[in-house]
Chain A
Amino acid sequence: MYKVLKREQIVPNIHLLAIESSSVHQNARAGEFVVVRADERGERIPLNLVDWNKDSVSMVFMEVGTSTSKLASLKPGDEIATLAGPLGKPTEEVQGKKIACIGGCYGIGALLPVIRMFKEKGNHVTTIIEARSEFLLYWQDKLREYSDEFQEITRDGTKGHKGHINDVLVDYIKKNNVDMVYVQGCTYLTYLCSEITRPSGIKTIVGLNPIMVDATGMCGVCRVIVAGETKFGCVDGPEFDGHQVDWDNLIARRKIYINEEISSLSFYECERYG
């Protein structure tokens, strides 16, 4: 069992979770993730590492279904059943490049360690975050600290640029000599950004989120097709070249359990709230 040190809602539906751990930090690197299981009946779910030290690790998660609802109900002092990591391949370290880093929903939090690493390696970092409205944007100060440029996008125009990532990214890569684009967030965002940069051929690295179970390369549920080859997202990824990903397959595979996810959540809510 692993002790919860902190669980707080940062913005509606997005939470920070800090768990006591003395072993995950020692090899942890930007871009890696952990697997958590809320309780003994819980599913194993992957969450990106956003921060770590010798006593704890923290993650940012979005409440979407049963597992994340269970996590969202945790209080300091509670315990979770599983915390395993770090897992996956770390973000490839590059130097002296101009990189545009894009984050949406939980990906805003997941960007933090990556832009910190990029910055430490002497890259020029432009951070772009997006949300529906200003009240869903978060961690601007933390992200600014490691960004040379910083932009916000809201769909309703309450903050920063009004509109979508499309307009901003298309414009940004036209006006700047960008070497690389890096994206964290839901599948739709990673897909969209990859399509935006495809014509220009700018290298685009995306953090994917296929369904996982063990996350050690043992089951193969996380397979994604990259450059026509089957890869295991948990050990060969989770970051891949967005121009090489078979998006149709990834999007379809993420929906394998959609009916079960819905019934699981209503079962959990009935049990919890009667």
Chain B
Amino acid sequence: MAKIVPKKTAMREQPAMERTKNFNEVPYGYSEQEAIQEAKRCLQCKRPTCMQGCPVEIDIPGFIDLIAQRDFRGAIKRLKDKNVLPAVCGRVCPQEDQCEKLCVLAKKYEPVGIGRLERFAADWEATQGEAPVPKKPKPTGKKVAIIGAGPGGLTVAGDLIKLGHAVTIFEALHAPGGVLVYGIPEFRLPKVIVYREVDYLRRCGVNVVFDFVVGKTATIDQILHEYDAVYIGTGAGLPWFMNIPGENLNGVYSANEYLTRSNLMKAYLFPEYDTPIVRGKRVAVIGGGNVAMDCARTALRLGADAVHNVYRRSRKEMPAREEEIHHAEEEGVIFDILTLPVRYMGDEHNWVKEMECIKMQLGEPDASGRRRPVPIEDSNFITPIDTVVCAIGQSPNPLIPQTTPDLKTGKWGNIEINPETGKTSKKGCWAGGDVVRGGATVILAMGDGRVAARSMDDYLKTGVW
């Protein structure tokens, strides 16, 4: 057996000082040489624990071994057996909490860079020209409608088209990808990657209809008149605010608005693109998740002098991926931890100019197991700011539940399903991803899509609900 190499092969990236001046991707990815070197670190365990951490059960040692043997085509094929969006997952999956966490090496050393290798294989494939489309299967004559072109909906589309069903995706916006396109910034996930995958699905025969707002343009019931089965993958797009004074001042954004303007509408290229965005000089981003990190790093790239990330617990409790926090820190984001905004104050033109915060300390653990933040009396202080981005979470958009009375929803407006099949309370309707889970992850949305696709195929073949 090869000698253990304790550290991951480093990945080159744009230096922090440079990258805050552009929206290009931060890490460069492995070269072939680096990928092979990293792949050789894998111990090829007989009973690989890493796979238990993968929600879509990728044959991890298998694809890594193929990379080690320089069979890149074989590696990408192995990945794609289980994961239709490897170039996306290699970049944005929280591997440190999934496969890499369970890597045997991680007990003593750094785990194998599974995510980096996944990314490498997918990027290699993209350099080989257009991916060939598999032979068209025999049509089953069944029609499937998928609502929402996020990672969940795209997974269902990919699985069902291969089985010969006619697949149409209805998407509310003018571009596919869901959060991958409107939420996650270009510097973390270049949009061409998503468009390439959608293009592949279209070449396979998937029909994508844009600008179609289900619940308004047509209801689920109207769609069910024409389609045999429906998958709802509409995500969690309803932004939350804190309901504190001053939140409707000019310059106070939801994360969704801020990111949608910058990413989907390309406001960072204003005025070449028509949609504007406020280029604040002193920006406060509220919240401690990936969404908050994306907003803070976007604000820097839009030219802010100071970006404060305001989070009510301590750094340890931040739900953002370690890599994202680290990147944000390197780029100069200022972390105001154990801090909670209590109100915003405006000037005579209704523009936000100051933020009042209160200091927090950690008390007893709450329901989530994290220690509850409690305010420290009389610790209020005021910071001058000109832009606020509220990134404290989101829940499912109510448009579809409101217009589909027999679709059962839970406390947060999330659609309820049977997790083993993805079936909702409504016959012929499946759901998955963020619309079921609230804000979760790309890979979980894809996993849900896979489970539902299997169940949908059964139903389409047998007619048994």
Residues on A close to B: CB < 8 A? 23-24, 26-27, 35, 37, 41-44, 66-67, 81-87, 213-214, 216-221, 223, 225, 230, 235, 248-249, 252-253, 255-257, 260-261, 263-264, 267-268
Contact = CB atoms under 8 A, between A and B. Distances in A.
Contact of A255 (B217, B222, B250, B272): B250
A31 to B, nearest CB: 13
B53 interface: no
B261 A253 contact: no
Nearest to A38: B274
B124 interface: no
A230 B213 contact: no
A220 B276 contact: no
A219 B260 contact: yes
Contact of A261 (B219, B276, B398): B276
B56 interface: no
Contact of A264 (B237, B260, B276): B276
A253 B248 CA distance: 8
Given A214-B172, A248-B350, A252-B350, 12 more contacts: A37-B174, A44-B174, A86-B216, A86-B217, A87-B213, A216-B172, A219-B257, A230-B243, A255-B250, A255-B349, A256-B251, A257-B278
B294 to A, nearest CB: 15
A261 B278 CA distance: 12
A214 B248 contact: no
16 contacts: A43-B275, A44-B174, A66-B274, A81-B174, A83-B211, A84-B217, A214-B260, A216-B397, A217-B237, A219-B254, A219-B260, A230-B243, A230-B247, A249-B350, A261-B276, A264-B271
A41 B273 contact: yes
Contact of A82 (B174, B237, B243, B350): B174
B204 interface: no
Given A83-B211, A260-B276, A220 B173 contact: no
A27 B274 CA distance: 30
B239 interface: yes
Q: Is the interface of B mostly helix, strand, loop or mixed?
A: loop
A252 B349 contact: yes
**Leading 7 A-B pairs by shortest Cβ distance:** A252-B350, A260-B276, A84-B211, A219-B257, A267-B271, A218-B237, A220-B254
A90 B1 CA distance: 70
A218 B265 contact: no
Contacts of A263: 271
Given A23-B218, A43-B274, A217-B399, A256 B260 contact: no
Nearest to B214: A216
A218 B237 CA distance: 5
A219 B271 contact: no
A24 B250 contact: no
Interface string B206-223: 000011110011110010
Contacts of B414: none
B32 to A, nearest CB: 36
A85 B271 CA distance: 27
Interface in B150-165: none
A47 to B, nearest CB: 14
Nearest to A84: B211
A24 B266 CA distance: 27
Given A216-B399, A217-B237, A23 B212 contact: yes
B238 interface: yes
B200 interface: no
B256 interface: yes
A127 B238 CA distance: 38
A37 B237 CA distance: 21
Interface in B220-267: 222, 237-239, 241, 243, 247-248, 250-251, 253-254, 256-257, 260-261, 265-266
A185 to B, nearest CB: 22
Contact of B397 (A26, A217, A225): A217
A161 B326 CA distance: 68
A268 B271 CA distance: 8
Contacts of A248: 350
Most central of A43, A85, A213, A218 by chain B CB within 10 Å: A218
B274 A225 contact: no
B434 to A, nearest CB: 12
A217 B260 contact: no
Contact of B278 (A66, A67, A223, A256): A256
Given A41-B274, A235-B399, A253-B248, A26 B266 contact: no
A235 B238 CA distance: 11
Contacts of A249: 248, 350
A43 B222 CA distance: 30
A47 B399 CA distance: 20
Contacts of A67: 274
Contact of A225 (B212, B248, B266): B248
